[in-house]
Every structure is written in structure tokens, then in C-alpha cells.
Amino acid sequence: MAGGLNCILIVVDTLRADHLGCYGYFRDTSPNIDRLAREGVLFKDMHASAIPTGPGFTSIITGLSPIHHHYYLTPWNIPNLIDFDDAIPTLPELIQDLIGGYTTAAFDNLMNFSSHMDHMVRGFEYYVNVTRTSKPIHHHVRGDQVNSRLIPWLRAHRRENFFVFVHYWDPHTPYNQPEEFRSIFHHEPGRLDDLEVKTAPAGYRYVPGWGRVGELWEPRPEEGKPTIDLYDGEIRFVDSLIGEVVEALEELDISDKTVVIITSDHGEQLGQHGLYDHRGLHESVVYIPLVIWAPAMLPTGKIVEGYVQQADIAPTILSILGAGEKDLPTFDGVDLLPIIDGEKPPRDEIYIENHEQRAVVEGEWKYIRNYFERTEELYNLEDDPMEVVNLAAEERSRVKAMREKLFRWVDENLKGRLDPMWVQMARWAAKWAATFKYDFPDLRPRPTIIREAKQ
């Protein structure tokens, strides 16, 4: 791949793929992202390697899964909770050390977590934290604050080769978008004629991106709760900000030498599975977008089917910017350029982690294991796209096979070492109890679970 290209990696926090037009959503939430998808490459089956924020971003900048980078937590409210391994190189460090000649910049504030994510600063010549404070202010930052610093920076550095990482918190709660984006979408609770309704092969009706009919999240405005209307308005807001960035690249006459990559750290349950947050490993949380826009060097209108993940982003960017494969560290991710060119197939199975669960997805089947609650879930994603029919009790032989596949993956990657998921959760529970004087609310560890399951 020719050198001398710029790259802007945009990570839109809490962005579900199925709430974007280019991924089939029925609302016009994303005209600018849709345009980039039409002119670039869209990965239809992109999934997180890890969720939520801390693990997801760490996988993006290291090319590793949590089982190797050990960053299972999002340490927003407890100091000194977790420390990243300094021996693991990050993407901007590799750009500086292996390629050279690049100005690296980040527009981000993950350093504002109480336990600072200092690995998000490493390798950046410029780290622009628009909060201008060390206090734990993070998800309240609005995207127009980011653009007010980002676009002037692009103008000032347009004659340099650059790698820029941009983190927009929108559409993470709280929904604090400008007023014109708060009323752009309106659904009347209890009605279906203003939504798209489909019938799943499993036999239930559902609204894509919302959930099964009869279980939709539909609070009335006077209840003061977050709504999907506001979530979609946040997406339309951040989409407009991405449009401003692309417009700036075109005005500066550098769009033809700049690669723009758009992805997310995780999605949002939006009321599905009884949750309005990003817990769990259901598709509502782990199915995220990936669009690569580089019309001067990549195919236009290309849709890649097959599983890819966050850990693929770092090796792909290094390949785009001209790093030699022999110089690279070992990644869990792969370079996506040969997959785009049709030289290699994408994966047919993937593994996903959070701080208490692991999942394996193989074809249309998905198995989720909660290591602390001793629960198992099995879904047929083609028949049951909303993951409401848990087949674990009926498909015992399939559950056994996928459980064994997951255990083999864990064992092969740990190579006899302690499982870092257990280590991090034990530390989190102890720190939580010491800080807040009550037990961690979600942790119910049973250390015999793996041994019992293998019997």
C-alpha cells in the first residue's frame, strides 16, 4: 500500500450498527455516514472484540482481545483500579516507531476516568482533552466541543502526514445534543404505524433496532427517562459532525489522501433484555459499525460480509500507512485489506468478552456464558434476531459443543496463566467494597464453574 496517506480514526461511542441507514435502519439518522459507506467499504458483520468502553477502546488501539491486553474494566469512578501493561505497544506508538514521519494526535478525554486510561495518551504527539480539567468529566462532553478543536488542528497541520484519533461521546447518555436534534424524531408510545415492524422466523414481531413488539422501550417524555427518539437524534447530531470533518478535508484539498475509518466501542440495549445500558453480550451491544472511506485507494460501494472485529483495526491502519508486516507485533486482529480485495476470507467464528461473560459466534449460532452467574444462553441469530428465545435448554448438544469450543479458546490463549477476567473482577470487587462500603452489586463469583462445566 502506498505511503504518505493520512488516517482519521473516528470512534463514535455507544453506536449501534442497526441504527444507521447504511446498515438498514428505517430512520434517516446518518446521511453523512451513509454517504461514506456508499463511497467506501462497509463491513456488514462487524462486532466488538470487547465491551464496554475501557476494553473496547483498548482492543481498538492494541489489536488484542482482553484475554491478552487484560483490560476488562471501565474504571470511571475508582482511582488506581487498573493499570495497562506498558510492554504492550499501542497503535500510535507503532506508527511513530515502525513508520515514522507522522504527526499523531488524539481528540479524546478517556484520561478523565478516575483510574486514568493513560495508555490512550501513549504515542500521541498531541493529546487534546477538550474538558480542560483532570476531574472525572467524560461522557458529558459534546461532539461540537471536539470539532471546535479538531477542525482548526486539521487546517494547521494539513501539509503534514497525520494519524488522528477522534472520540465522540455522542450518542452516549446523557442525551445533551443541541435543541434542533432533540425533536427530529418522534414516536408515539403504544403505536406501531410510525415504526418498521417485521416478523422473525422464530414467530414474534419486532422493530429492527428496538426489540420485540410488546417489550419496546416507550417511556413518555414527562417520565424524564431516555428515549430511543433522543438516541437517534444524538446519532443524527454526531453524523452532522462527521460531515463537518469530511467537508473540512475536502476544503483543505486533502480528502484524496486521507483515509477515514468510522467504528464504535459498543452499542446500547435501548430497553432490550430489560436493560438501558451496555451490559451483556447481546447483538444490541456488540454489533457495531465499521466503514472505511478511501475512494482514491479502496473500492467504492463495497460491502464485506463475514465476521470482523475491533482488534482488526490497528493492523489494518498500520498496513494502510505502510508498515512492514515482518516488523509488527503479534495481534489477535488481522489486516482487513486482503479481505477487502477478496484475497482472504473473513472469519467464520469470533469470540467476544466483557468483565463477566464470554461469547462465541459461529455462523448463525451464538453462545454466551456468564462466568459469575453460572448461566448459559444460546441463540439462532437468523431465526431470532432480537435474541429473545434462549435455546440453551433445548439444544444441549450444541451448547456442549460451543461451550467446549469457548473453553479451548480460553485455554489456548491463557497457556496456563491465571484468567485475567477473574483477577480483574476480584480486584474491582475489593476496591468497590473499600471505597463505597458495600459489596459490589453484580459480582457473584463461583470459582468452581469451569471445573463443574467440564465434568
325-343 pLDDT, tens digit each: 888 999 999 999 999 999 9
> Which residue type, as a one-letter code, is found at position 161?
N
- Whether the pLDDT of residue 70 is over 50: the answer is yes
Same domain, 329 and 361: no
**Residue 430 confidence class, pLDDT cut points 50, 70, 90:** confident
- Whether the pLDDT of residue 110 is over 50: the answer is yes
> In the prediction, which pLDDT does 77 show?
83
Whole-number Å distance between alpha carbons of 299 and 39 = 8
Same domain, 331 and 399: no
What CATH number did the domain enclosing 388 receive? 3.30.1120.10
Whole-number Å distance between alpha carbons of 361 and 379 = 10
Can you state the angle between helices 228-251 and 31-39, rounded to 10 degrees?
50
| Domains held by the chain: number | 2
**Residue 450 confidence class, pLDDT cut points 50, 70, 90:** very low
Same domain, 257 and 360: no
Same domain, 317 and 408: no
**Residue 75 confidence class, pLDDT cut points 50, 70, 90:** confident
Whole-number Å distance between alpha carbons of 276 and 210 = 11
Same domain, 399 and 437: yes
Same domain, 362 and 417: yes
Cα dist from 434 to 71, 76, 80, 422, 438, whole Å? 21, 16, 13, 18, 8
Query: Residue 37 in contact with residue 22, Cβ under 8 Å?
Result: yes
391-405 pLDDT, tens digit each: 999 999 999 999 999
Whole-number Å distance between alpha carbons of 212 and 198 = 9
Same domain, 142 and 271: yes
Same domain, 22 and 97: yes
**Residue 441 confidence class, pLDDT cut points 50, 70, 90:** low
82/119: higher pLDDT: 119
132-167 pLDDT, tens digit each: 888 888 788 999 999 999 999 999 999 999 999 999
* Mean pLDDT within 80-86: 89
Query: Residue 68 in contact with residue 413, Cβ under 8 Å?
Result: yes
**Residue 86 confidence class, pLDDT cut points 50, 70, 90:** very high
Closest CA to 154 of 51, 86, 76, 255: 255
Quote the strand ranges of 32-140, DSSP E: 41-47, 103-107, 126-128
> In the prediction, which pLDDT does 147 show?
98
237-257 pLDDT, tens digit each: 999 999 999 999 999 999 999
What is the grid cell recorded at 150? 479538531
* Mean pLDDT within 356-368: 97
> In the prediction, which pLDDT does 443 show?
52
Same domain, 313 and 361: no
Angle value at C-alpha 322, between 61 and 98, nearest 5 degrees: 60
Same domain, 375 and 333: no
Same domain, 358 and 387: yes
First and final C-alpha spacing in the chain: 50
Q: Which domain holds residue 115?
A: 6-341
What does pLDDT average to over the chain?
A: 93
DSSP tag of 325: G
pTM over 0.75: yes
Query: Residue 33 in contact with residue 22, Cβ under 8 Å?
Result: yes
Same domain, 331 and 383: no
